């Protein structure tokens, strides 16, 4: 089945002229005449017949005319680029995987921005257990936010920026009263670590080892929020992005080590690359990150 015949038939029925239809479709008149022959053979009907110096449609052609026009218009609409998404009209759920570090850094602002512009959109945050799995490829996940270092080869990734970490302790902790925390005092305190895999050793320990120091990690938890809540109740030192620990009533201080910043980004599967609604969500993530970095409302 050659669906191009429908486009030619639509032009022929509209123009009632081989020459006119050829000009409309930017082909030669002989080529259009041959196409009309193919249409006649397919339909078993002459479609257009000569009446003096003009061509007139057969009853079958008159019957087909509105249906052909509808089909061709639908096909053109189907293949046309989709317009930008209208946030107010969106009715959709997005599955997003983000660490609680990312959620603490931009989660509230992102949820507020999405709810304000698209009240019909729900952000469904999924557990970090999906990290490192083919969830993006399988379609179980629409967007991943965080430290992106395990993406499938075809996955689209985009850097958002970096965030540093500060030390966090409860107000009554001995380090809370210091104007400047030294590396030795930092190492002497008891720490709570964060690792989904339960690792005790990390970049902080490497930095301390370079100074000939070693800390005592008394607990390791899988998430940043849990670590900060423990710091609020016990004499433990935790790490957090600037601004997050203060919201929980903790005191913060500059970590006296040369720690690499954490690169944060987003990742998505190519199937969603051109989807207007998904592009709109990615724009909101970018704007939310930028607003947080500049201190904008």
Are both 3-79 and 90-159+264-294 of the same fold? no
Residue extents of the structural domains in the chain: 3-79, 90-159+264-294, 166-260
At residue 82, does pLDDT exceed 90?
no
pLDDT of residue 295: 46
Averaged pLDDT, 239-264:
89
Which runs of consecutive H residues, i.e. helices, occur in the chain? 4-15, 18-25, 29-43, 59-79, 100-102, 108-117, 135-138, 183-188, 203-210, 224-233, 244-247, 276-294
pTM, rounded to two decimals: 0.69
| pLDDT per residue as tens digits for the range 200-233 | 999 999 999 999 999 999 999 988 888 999 999 9
Query: Counting beta carbons within 10 angstroms of the beta carbon of residue 265, is it exposed (0 to 12), middle (13 to 18) or buried (19 or more)?
Result: buried
Is CATH 1.10.10.10 the classification given to domain 3-79?
yes
User: From the CB of residue 75, how many other CB atoms can be counted at a distance below 10 Å?
Assistant: 14
For CA atoms 39, 40, 43, 47, the dihedral sign is positive
Averaged pLDDT, 153-169:
89
pLDDT of residue 297: 32
Higher pLDDT, 234 or 243: 234
Query: Quick one: pLDDT band at residue 76, thresholds 50, 70, 90?
Result: confident
At residue 294, does pLDDT exceed 60?
no
Averaged pLDDT, 161-179:
91
At residue 56, does pLDDT exceed 60?
yes
Query: Counting beta carbons within 10 angstroms of the beta carbon of residue 114, is it exposed (0 to 12), middle (13 to 18) or buried (19 or more)?
Result: buried
Q: How far apart are CA 80 and CA 258, in angstroms?
A: 53
Which runs of consecutive H residues, i.e. helices, occur in 148-223? 183-188, 203-210
pLDDT of residue 232: 94
- Topology annotation, domain 166-260: D-Maltodextrin-Binding Protein; domain 2 (3.40.190)
Averaged pLDDT, 231-236:
95
Averaged pLDDT, 71-88:
83
For CA atoms 270, 273, 277, 283, the dihedral sign is positive
Instruction: Among 3.40.50.2300, 1.10.10.60, 3.40.630.10, 3.40.190.10, name the CATH number for the domain at 90-159+264-294.
Output: 3.40.190.10
- The mean of the pLDDT values for the chain is 89
User: From the CB of residue 153, how many other CB atoms can be counted at a distance below 10 Å?
Assistant: 5
Q: How far apart are CA 7 and CA 74, in angstroms?
A: 11
pLDDT of residue 150: 67
pLDDT of residue 130: 64
């Amino acid at each position: 089945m050659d669906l191009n015949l429908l486009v030619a038939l639509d032009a022929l029925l509209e123009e009632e002229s081989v020459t006119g239809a050829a000009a409309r479709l930017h082909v030669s008149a002989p080529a259009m005449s041959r196409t009309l022959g193919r249409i006649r053979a397919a339909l078993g009907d002459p479609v257009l017949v000569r009446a003096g110096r003009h061509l007139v449609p057969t009853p079958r052609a008159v019957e087909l005319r509105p249906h052909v026009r509808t089909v061709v218009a639908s096909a053109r609409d189907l293949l046309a680029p989709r317009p930008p998404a209208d946030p107010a009209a969106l009715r959709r759920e997005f599955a997003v995987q983000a660490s609680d570090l990312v959620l603490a850094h931009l989660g509230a602002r992102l949820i507020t921005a999405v709810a304000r512009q698209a009240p019909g959109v729900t952000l469904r945050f999924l557990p970090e257990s999906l990290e490192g799995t083919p969830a993006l490829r399988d379609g179980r996940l629409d967007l991943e936010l965080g430290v992106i270092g395990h993406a499938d080869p075809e996955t689209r990734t985009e850097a958002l920026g970096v965030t540093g970490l500060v030390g966090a302790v409860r107000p009554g902790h001995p380090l809370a009263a210091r104007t400047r925390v030294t590396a030795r005092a930092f190492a002497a305190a008891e720490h709570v670590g964060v690792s989904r895999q339960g690792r005790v050793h990390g970049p902080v320990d490497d930095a301390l080892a370079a100074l000939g120091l070693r800390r005592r990690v008394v607990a390791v938890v899988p998430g940043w929020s849990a670590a900060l809540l423990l710091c609020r109740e016990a004499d433990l030192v935790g790490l957090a992005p600037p601004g997050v620990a203060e919201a929980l009533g903790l005191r913060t201080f500059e970590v006296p080590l040369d720690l690499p910043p954490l690169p944060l980004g987003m990742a998505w599967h190519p199937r969603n690359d051109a989807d207007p609604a998904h592009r709109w969500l990615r724009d909101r993530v970018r704007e939310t990150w930028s607003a947080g970095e500049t201190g904008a409302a």
